[in-house]
Structure 1
Amino acid sequence: MKKLNWAFLILFSFAFVACDDDDDEVTLDTTDPVITITSPTEGAAVTAGGVINLEGTVTDNEGLEEITISITDPSGTNTELTDMTIRDFLNDDRNADFDLDINVDANAAPGDWTVIVTALDDAGNEASESVMVTLSE
């Protein structure tokens, strides 16, 4: 019986020591993507029937999942223009450029239009940037 107690004590000690290093720290990504719109500039004038050239970059510290571009007209109606899933293995999905020509309908309502770029990263962090353009007839 004494030998059995010693065997149990030794097995318990090994189990306790073996579990000691299982507490590796996990770092969660809480950093939002960074969006930079380089074109058009805020308040740029656009005519009905013209083109809005949207350019810029999106970066993230861990990896991007998706970029969505939408436009809101003067009445507040939002229309999604594009939804891009990011797959760039050369830079670990951390950088993405966007370059989109938005054709403005010839009958579009004059006023302030807002172009919105939204980025989602692999951890679910989201960021949005917008630029307002003024549409004239």
Structure 2
Amino acid sequence: MSETKPSVLFVCVHNAGRSQMAAAWLTHLAGDRVEVRSAGSNPGAAVNPAAVAAMAEVGIDISAETPKILTIDAVRESDVCITMGCGDTCPVFPGKRYLDWQLEDPAGHGIDAVRPIRDAIESLVRGLLAEVAPT
């Protein structure tokens, strides 16, 4: 981890659902203890409305977020890179920690299908936070 504070990058294909929810959870739970980024290998036009609604149910507003393109700099500047279904599109740098979270893509699903994905992401993020920035 970096000497100041750890940096985590969440990556999925469209940066419209899973990675946005993960970044929001980590930001919400860690506050300023962790630098958080998210990106997509092929960003969508907007964040999935069902993901926005599911996060709003737990008091986290991601309605102003927009999908961002994955850059080599984003990976280089992160201590931990977490992929969620983006395959081999994430560049690999020596010394970085890479995790792949197997989560269903919420694209095209309603809020009832997105809630369990949101909750699984929360659990994974809580575990990650305990590792990278324990209290």
Q: What TM-score, normalized to structure 1?
A: 0.24
Which structure dedicates a bigger proportion of its chain to strand?
1
Which one has the largest radius of gyration?
1
Which structure dedicates a bigger proportion of its chain to helix?
2
